[in-house]
Amino acid sequence: MDLVETFRRRRAVEGPVFWLDSDLVVLDPRVAAAVNRANFADFTLNPSVGDQLRGRRGALVDWRDVRAAWLPRIRELTEPEHLRALAERMDRILSSRLDTPLDLVWLSYETAVRSLVPLVIADLDAKDNAILARDLIAKVATLLDRPAPLSIVAQARAGAMVRRRIKRRAAGPGRADLLDPIARELLGVLGIGRAVEATTAMLTAITGPPGSAAASVLFELSRRPEWQERLGDELAAATDLCTAPQSRAPVTTRFVKEVLRMWSPPLLLNRRVRTAVSVEGVELRPGQQYVTCPYLVHHDETRLPDHATFDPDRWLADPTFDYVPFGWAPTTCLGAGIGIAQLILWCRLLTTRYRVTTNRPSRMTMLASPTPHDFRGTVTSR
């Protein structure tokens, strides 16, 4: 939080773009969009770490081609049958944690992350699932500033497991997951090293913002009983929610959007400059870094005077402020639609099937993402 407050104070004095040591801080959303677009105009993937160590470059591959291969699969994964399976996985995790004191932040991360893994790799057996779980647990613990197991070893074992899975998938039948386009469409162009890195990058992506957002949703529900009731009434009456979560649950959608505005994960986005950038008065050289802060974009008192007020009904009108919970193009989160759907389904579980009782009031702290502090309680069936 100290760094965010430093940014806020300096923005008030120096404006929304300033240098912090050797990093350029960009808090103007229009400038941030322009800088990000210019920086990633050339989106060529680097050779894999293994190829770099061997002095090999490999074929030139644009990351946009990887994203383009993933997009149809992501659309498929938001179809009703896959969202129902996602909701069932979250339900199973919650039902296994009933009637015992819990760290609610860890529960939120565990539920969000574990339920998303099959969207990346659908056919993990128990052994490989355990290998991946150790790596993901280490990553989550690091994000939450908690003691972590030996993460380097866990990461290496997870990478080796992903390599085996890619080779197996390339030679076998397809599955409805994000591994499939990598193994069956792009492996020949990417090479095995970059194919592993692309897959592990997606696995890393699901360990952060989804869990943080789920914890923030639970945090706001726990201290706003009036919204719990409104969401519970809507979601109990919603038929076939997985067909179109946002249109079938508009009140819940507004609540989720406001949570993401109030508590945007991640807190900061650090980008290494890939190519010379000269836009909007900004001059950057390759190797420098720039930092953006979606949280402060959403809490800009000049654009949103009541930014500190939690008000989902502000979304009844078109917003007059910038809203970037999934970052700026061309590096916006590919899974935004799945993320919103997951949070709506999370709200349904928390307001219609389970009751969460918290031990004491919590407050939000700023780690890698906004995180409720000392957020403990018990989950029971309704």
Annotated binding site for heme: 333
d(CA 252, CA 257): 9
Q: Which residues pair with 373 in a beta bridge?
A: 363
Cα 363-366-369 angle, rounded to 5 deg: 110
Query: Reduced to 3 states, what is the DSSP secondary structure of residue 356?
Result: strand
Q: Give the torsion through C-alpha atoms of 328, 332, 338, 341, to 10 deg.
A: 0
Residue 148, amino acid:
A
Phi, psi of 194 (to 5 degrees): -70, -30
Q: Which residues fall in the annotated binding site?
A: 333
> Nearest CA to 93 among 78, 77, 113, 118?
113
**DSSP letter for each residue of 29-42:** HHHHHHHHHHHTSS
Alpha carbon 144 to its chain centroid, in Å, reads 14
> Nearest CA to 136 among 199, 197, 207?
207
| DSSP code, position 271 | E
Phi, psi of 364 (to 5 degrees): -90, 135
**DSSP letter for each residue of 281-295:** TEEE-TT-EEEE-HH
Longest dimension (CA), the chain: 61
Q: In what order do the strands lie in the sheet with 102-103?
A: 102-103, 376-381, 354-358
Residue 355, CA atoms < 13 Å, CB-side half-sphere: 7
| DSSP code, position 123 | T
> Nearest CA to 258 among 304, 211, 208?
304
